[in-house]
A and B are shown apart, each in its own frame.
Chain A
Amino acid sequence: MKGISILRRYLGIFIRLFKFRLSNQMIYRASFWTVFIVDVSMFLIQLAVFSTLFLNVDTINGWNKYQMIFFVGTFNIIDSINMSLFFFGITSIPYKIREGKLDIYLTRPVNTLFWLSLENIDVSSTIVIIPGVIMVSYATAKLGITLTFGKVAGYLLLLILMLLLFYSLMLIIRTLSFWFIKTDALNDLEGEMIGFSFRVPGIVFTGVSKLVLYVLLPYALLATLPTQYFTTSFSLGHWALALGVTSAFVLISQWLWRLGLKNYTSASS
């Protein structure tokens, strides 16, 4: 019972944060639409990159054009949920640590990380989920995949796992700000990794590169695993990989966050 009441309380907070941000963003409509245009431009450029590649090749390591469309659509869905929910909240953490603005969050009777992650919900990014869903649906039809409850439920579960992984990867980099003043280079590294995991499906990696990009810096898993599950075969080993890597990174990020908080000296305040 206590668990349910906590859940209801946090759901209430989430709804209030969402409403507040929506009204806030509608005041600055130009910003609202520019974020939307930027997201759509990224998605169109991505389509252009793969269309160009498929003008010159028939498959990419066994994946055909429609599997790649499914891959891009899936990444688009994951990225738009990330941008809508926690991207702007998480990326503001280093600034708050550096400027000592974390104090006010620590004194609130709400989980600090929950508040920080969700206080900058970006409503305009949610619209970008639509082209992602259209791409996934189009590719599914072209690949002749029969939809079953198990197939859709498994895909949704993998999307949730990959979102958790994405969140944890972002958080780990930001928690380093508790120890280092300037983490711009790490942010650049993250940008490059995300950009490429958007453009290169994990199936092209082998050997050491696969180990690095599937386990140590598992950006390559994000859209690859849900696509593999939906469009090709997916073994128990794949499930173990998805669950194992996500659990490990969630635990590491939470441990680093708590360690960082202990190290927080509240500079400038």
Chain B
Amino acid sequence: MRKYLEVGKISVKSQITYRFDVLIGCFMPFIRVFLAYFLWRTLFTDKTEMGGMTFPMMLTYYIVCAFIQRLEQSNGLVWEFAGEIREGRFTKYLVKPVSPLGHFVFTSLGKTLYHLVFTVLAVGCVILIFKGQFVGPASAGSLILALLIAFLGLLVMILLNYLTALLAFKFTDITGWHLLNGNVVDFLSGALLPLSLLPDWMQGVMRYFPFYYMQFLPASLYLGLRTQEAFFGLLVMVIWIIVLWGLAEFLYHRFRRLYEEVGA
């Protein structure tokens, strides 16, 4: 475990080099909040509630989703990892006593930890701008549950991204797969629209998949909505993490035989 904590520490340190880019980048997801504000302000013109939310709750939903989204930092690592496989630099993982999966997870978490500082700052600025509309957490309990499920969602996303990166062993260029993964997750996690706007049967199906719990449920819990789904959500996420972890290890051991070390 200690060696993986060291990996995390190195990841934090490497981020310090690009602090200006990190600072600017932290504000990017919040552009989505501003644009969502204008869209939903129009949609709420003759309505007081949609998908169980008032306009301030809807705005807060997007702020919470943007916060969670910014903490997910394994996205960029997919390109690095796939590049290492393609250009033969992956060999370092074969000679070091570390698991590539563990390395990937802890590097991602290290980046998340560093981005957390700047993201909190960015959220503070956004809340100040929308202070009349921003809704605080419903209760300390719902906030803790939201954070816990969001953290598990983060782990699921890291595992999904690791699986995408592993495809580089087989397909070399994984650009399409990675973009497809991002597009699908964006919609299914509720980052584009609250999933409560979807028909009930669709929400029922989505409850068995991890995407529902990545952004939609944490943001809903924060707002004091769907609290009865929290424990089922925790169970679903733990099961998915075990399944994805197992799949990642299985595919790694299968795919690494395809590694040709080209360019090493």
Contact = CB atoms under 8 A, between A and B. Distances in A.
A192 B31 contact: yes
Contacts of B177: 34
Q: Is the interface of B mostly helix, strand, loop or mixed?
A: helix
B193 A53 contact: yes
Interface of A: 28, 30-31, 34-35, 37-38, 41-42, 45, 48-49, 52-53, 55-57, 60-61, 182, 184-185, 188-189, 192-193, 195-196, 199-200, 204-206, 209
Interface of B: 18, 21, 24-25, 28-29, 31-32, 34-35, 38-39, 41-43, 45, 47, 50-51, 171, 173, 175-177, 179-180, 183-184, 186-187, 192-193, 197-199
Contacts of B197: 52-53, 55-56
Contact of B47 (A57, A184, A199): A57
Contacts of A35: 175-176
Given A30-B173, A56-B197, 15 more contacts: A37-B176, A38-B179, A41-B180, A41-B183, A45-B184, A49-B187, A52-B197, A57-B43, A57-B50, A60-B39, A60-B43, A192-B35, A196-B35, A199-B192, A204-B41
A49 B36 CA distance: 13
B264 to A, nearest CB: 21
A49 B21 CA distance: 31
A38 B183 contact: yes
A200 B176 contact: no
A31 B45 CA distance: 45
B187 A48 contact: yes
9 contacts: A34-B173, A34-B176, A38-B176, A38-B183, A42-B183, A49-B193, A52-B197, A61-B45, A209-B38
A7 B44 CA distance: 52
A36 to B, nearest CB: 9
A193 B31 contact: yes
Given A35-B176, A49-B192, A204 B186 contact: no
Given A35-B176, A49-B192, A204-B39, A188 B28 contact: yes
Contacts of B175: 31, 34-35
Closest 10 CB pairs of A and B: A34-B176, A185-B24, A196-B35, A204-B42, A188-B28, A192-B31, A38-B179, A45-B187, A61-B42, A185-B25
Nearest to B182: A38
Nearest to B41: A204
B55 to A, nearest CB: 13
A60 B21 contact: no
Contacts of A42: 183
A182 B38 contact: no
A204 B38 contact: yes
A196 B32 contact: yes
A265 B198 CA distance: 54
Contact of B21 (A57, A61, A184): A184
Contact of A41 (B21, B39, B184): B184
A185 B187 contact: no
A188 B32 CA distance: 11
A53 B43 contact: yes
A195 B36 CA distance: 12
Contacts of A195: 32
